C-alpha cells in the first residue's frame, strides 16, 4: 500500500520517465499486481471517496501480497485527472479504477495510449476495449430508507436536502417517496436544493428550514454530515449518506445507505490476476452487496426494522422493484401503469418527479 498526493506523484513521474520503462515493467510482472485508484475528494470526506478507499483496503486485505494498491486523492475533474491517470499507468499499474463521473474523458484518452493497461470507470457511460464501467443502484437503498421514513414519520412529511437535480439524485428522491407512500399513501417529500455537493453550513441551514416547516424526518443527497447534526439538534430523525454516520448523530441517525465497492473491486482484481479481465458494464445494487444498509438504530421499533428488512430482501431477490407501477407524476398523469416497471435506460435519464414530491 502506498500513498501519494498529486505533488509526490509528479516528482515520482519525473523519475519514472528518466528511468528505462523496462525496470518498472519487469518489477510489475515479477512482483505483485499493481492496482491504481483515483479519487475526486479527500479520503477523509466521510462520503464518496472515503467509501472507495475503504473498498481498496478490503481488496488489499483480501489479496495480501499478491497485489499492491496505489491511490491518488483530491484529483480535480479536469486536466489534472488526465495527468494523474497517465502517471499511474506509467508507474506500472495494470488495472486502474477512476472513481468519479468527471474522470470519464481523461480515462478514455489515457486508455488509448496504454492498450495493455485495463481501466474501470465509475458512473460513466463511455467504454473501450480496455475500459469497463461500473455503477451502483443507490436508489434501491433509498427505497429501504423510504420505507423506514414512512413508518417513523408522524407528520408524513419528509425533508430532502438535495445537491443538484441530476438523474442520480432525482432517482433517489422518487424511490424514497414511492417506498414511503407504500406505507403511508399521503406521504410527501419536500426538496430543498443547496446547489452544491458539499457546503456544510448551507446543508445544515436547509435541514433546519425543512424541520421548521414540519418535516420530522430528513434525508439527504449531499456529502457532509451537517444535515444529520441539524436533525440531532432539533430532535428529528435522519439518514446517513455513503458511510455509517452514527457518530455524528447517535439519536437521529436511523441507518445509512452505504457504498460497498469492495466486492466489485475484489472481483475485477481477481479477473485481472487470472488474465480473464474483460471490459464490462455493470449496474449492481443490494443483491450483489454494492449498496448496503448500515446497522439500524436501536430507537427503531421491531416492526419497522422488519419492514425495512423485507424491502431490502425483496429488492435483493428481485421480488420488489422500487419503480414498479402504478406511478403517477406530480401532475397526476400515470407514467407507469400497473404491472410495468421503469426500464434501466429510462432510469438513467430520469428527469420527472413522482406525485408527492415537492421540489
Query: Could you list the residues that contact other proteins (CB under 8 A)?
Result: 41-42, 44-46, 159, 190-196, 198-202, 204-206, 208-210, 212-213, 215, 224-226, 229, 247-248, 358
For other proteins, the closer CB: 19 or 201 = 201
Among all chains, which residue has been given the C-alpha cell 481501466? 119
CB 84 within 8 A of CB 110: no
Cis peptide before 326 (omega within 30 of 0): yes
Cite the DSSP H helix spans in the chain.
6-18, 21-30, 48-63, 79-90, 104-113, 138-152, 167-183, 200-212, 226-234, 262-274, 302-317, 344-347
Q: What DSSP state is assigned to residue 342?
A: -
Give the angle subtended at the CA of 233 by the CAs of 232 and 239, to the nearest 5°.
20
The least CB distance from residue 139 to other proteins, in Å, is: 23
The least CB distance from residue 132 to other proteins, in Å, is: 30
> Helix (H, G, I), strand (E, B), or coil: what is residue 150?
helix
CB-CB neighbours of 200 under 10 Å: 17
The least CB distance from residue 357 to other proteins, in Å, is: 11
Q: Please, what sign has the CA dihedral across residues 214, 47, 262, 341?
A: positive
For other proteins, the closer CB: 233 or 270 = 233
For other proteins, the closer CB: 254 or 311 = 254
Q: Please, what sign has the CA dihedral across residues 101, 102, 103, 105?
A: positive
The least CB distance from residue 169 to other proteins, in Å, is: 15
Give the angle subtended at the CA of 247 by the CAs of 241 and 249, to the nearest 5°.
75
Q: What Å distances lie between residue 164 and 202, 298, 359, CA to CA?
A: 14, 32, 12
CB 170 within 8 A of CB 229: no
Among all chains, which residue has been given the C-alpha cell 491517470? 85
The least CB distance from residue 353 to other proteins, in Å, is: 13
Q: Please, what sign has the CA dihedral across residues 30, 58, 81, 273?
A: positive
Rg (CA), the chain: 21
The least CB distance from residue 354 to other proteins, in Å, is: 16
The least CB distance from residue 188 to other proteins, in Å, is: 10
For other proteins, the closer CB: 63 or 237 = 237
Residue 310: beta bridge partners? none
The least CB distance from residue 196 to other proteins, in Å, is: 7
The least CB distance from residue 350 to other proteins, in Å, is: 21
CB-CB neighbours of 337 under 10 Å: 9
Amino acid at each position: 500500500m502506498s500513498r501519494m498526493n498529486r505533488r509526490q506523484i509528479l516528482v515520482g513521474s519525473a523519475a519514472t520517465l528518466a528511468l528505462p520503462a523496462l525496470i518498472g515493467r519487469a518489477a510489475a510482472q515479477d512482483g505483485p499486481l499493481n492496482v491504481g485508484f483515483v479519487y475526486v475528494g479527500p479520503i477523509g470526506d466521510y462520503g464518496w471517496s472515503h467509501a472507495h478507499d475503504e473498498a481498496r483496503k478490503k481488496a488489499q486485505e483480501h489479496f495480501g501480497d499478491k497485489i499492491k494498491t496505489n491511490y491518488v486523492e483530491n484529483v480535480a475533474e479536469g486536466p489534472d485527472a488526465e495527468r494523474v491517470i497517465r502517471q499511474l499507468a506509467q508507474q506500472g499499474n495494470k488495472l486502474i479504477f477512476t472513481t468519479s463521473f468527471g474522470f470519464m474523458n481523461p480515462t478514455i484518452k489515457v486508455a488509448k495510449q496504454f492498450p495493455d493497461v485495463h481501466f474501470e470507470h465509475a458512473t460513466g457511460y463511455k467504454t473501450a476495449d480496455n475500459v469497463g464501467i461500473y455503477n451502483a443502484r443507490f436508489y434501491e437503498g433509498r427505497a429501504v430508507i423510504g420505507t423506514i421514513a414512512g413508518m417513523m414519520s408522524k407528520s408524513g412529511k419528509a425533508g430532502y436536502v438535495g445537491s443538484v437535480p441530476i438523474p442520480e439524485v432525482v432517482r433517489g428522491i422518487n424511490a424514497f417517496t414511492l417506498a414511503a407512500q407504500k406505507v403511508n399513501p399521503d406521504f410527501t417529500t419536500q426538496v430543498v436544493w443547496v446547489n452544491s455537493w458539499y457546503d456544510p453550513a448551507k446543508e445544515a441551514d436547509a435541514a433546519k428550514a425543512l424541520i421548521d416547516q414540519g418535516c420530522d424526518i430528513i434525508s439527504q443527497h449531499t456529502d457532509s454530515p451537517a444535515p444529520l447534526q441539524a436533525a440531532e439538534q432539533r430532535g428529528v430523525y435522519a439518514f446517513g449518506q455513503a458511510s455509517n454516520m452514527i457518530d455524528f448523530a447517535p439519536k437521529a441517525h436511523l441507518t445509512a445507505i452505504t457504498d460497498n465497492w469492495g466486492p466489485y473491486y475484489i472481483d475485477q482484481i481477481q479477473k485481472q490476476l487470472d488474465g480473464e479481465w474483460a471490459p464490462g458494464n455493470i449496474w449492481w445494487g443490494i443483491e450483489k452487496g454494492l449498496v448496503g444498509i448500515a446497522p439500524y438504530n436501536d430507537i427503531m421499533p421491531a416492526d419497522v426494522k422488519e419492514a425495512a428488512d423485507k424491502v431490502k430482501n425483496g429488492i435483493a431477490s428481485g421480488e420488489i422493484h422500487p419503480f414498479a407501477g402504478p406511478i403517477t407524476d406530480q401532475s397526476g398523469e400515470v407514467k407507469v401503469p400497473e404491472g410495468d416497471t421503469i426500464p434501466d435506460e429510462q432510469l438513467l435519464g430520469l428527469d420527472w418527479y413522482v406525485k408527492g414530491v415537492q421540489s
